[in-house]
A and B are shown apart, each in its own frame.
Chain A
Amino acid sequence: MLEWARFVLSALLLALGLFVLASGVLGVFRFRQTLSRVHAAALVDTLGIASMFAGLIVAEGFTPASLKLLAVVAFLWLTSPVSSHLIGRMEVTVNDALEKDMRVDDPEAVRREKEGE
Chain B
Amino acid sequence: MARVRNDFEGRRWQRFRAWLNEGDTSLDSLLMDAVDGRSSAPQPAPSAPESADPGAVNHLPLSAVQARRARAEKFSRGLYRTLAVLICFGLIGVLLATAAALPPFGNPDNPVHNEVSRRYIEQGMAETGAVNVVAGMILDYRAFDTLGESNVLFTAACAVLILLRLGVSDRVRRWERDLDARLYEPQNDAILQTLARFLTPMALLFGFYIVLNGHLSPGGGFSGGAVMGAGLILYLNAFGYEKTARFMNYRVFQTASCAALTFYAAAKSYSFFTGANHLPSFINAGIPGMLFSAGLIPYLNIAVGLVVCCTMYAFYTLFRKGDM
Contact = CB atoms under 8 A, between A and B. Distances in A.
A94 B184 contact: yes
Given A79-B199, A82-B195, A90 B2 contact: no
A94 B2 contact: yes
B189 interface: yes
Main secondary structure on A side of the interface with B: helix
B184 A116 contact: yes
B118 interface: no
A116 B188 CA distance: 11
B13 to A, nearest CB: 18
B: contact size bracket: 10 to 19
B297 to A, nearest CB: 26
A24 to B, nearest CB: 22
Given A94-B181, A116-B184, A78 B189 contact: no
Contact of B187 (A78, A96, A115, A116): A116
Given A96-B3, A114-B1, A114-B2, A90 B191 contact: no
B179 interface: no
B195 A78 contact: yes
B189 A86 contact: yes
A68 interface: no
Interface in B161-193: 181, 183-187, 189, 191-192
A115 B1 contact: yes
Contacts of B195: 78-79, 82
Interface string A81-116: 010011001100111100000000000000001111
Contacts, number: 39
Contact of B186 (A78, A90, A95, A115): A90
Contacts of A89: 186, 189
A93 B184 contact: yes
Contacts of A115: 1
A82 B191 contact: yes
A34 to B, nearest CB: 14
Contacts of A95: 2
Contacts of B2: 93-96, 114
A12 B201 CA distance: 37
B1 A86 contact: no
Contacts of A113: 186
A79 B224 CA distance: 19
Nearest to A95: B2
A108 to B, nearest CB: 16
A79 B185 CA distance: 19
A71 to B, nearest CB: 11
Contacts of A114: 1-2, 184
A89 B237 CA distance: 14
A76 B18 CA distance: 51
Shortest Cβ-Cβ A-B pairs, 3 listed = A89-B186, A94-B2, A82-B195
Given A85-B191, A89-B186, 6 more contacts: A78-B195, A78-B198, A86-B186, A114-B1, A116-B1, A116-B183
9 contacts: A78-B199, A89-B189, A93-B184, A93-B186, A94-B2, A96-B3, A113-B186, A114-B2, A115-B1
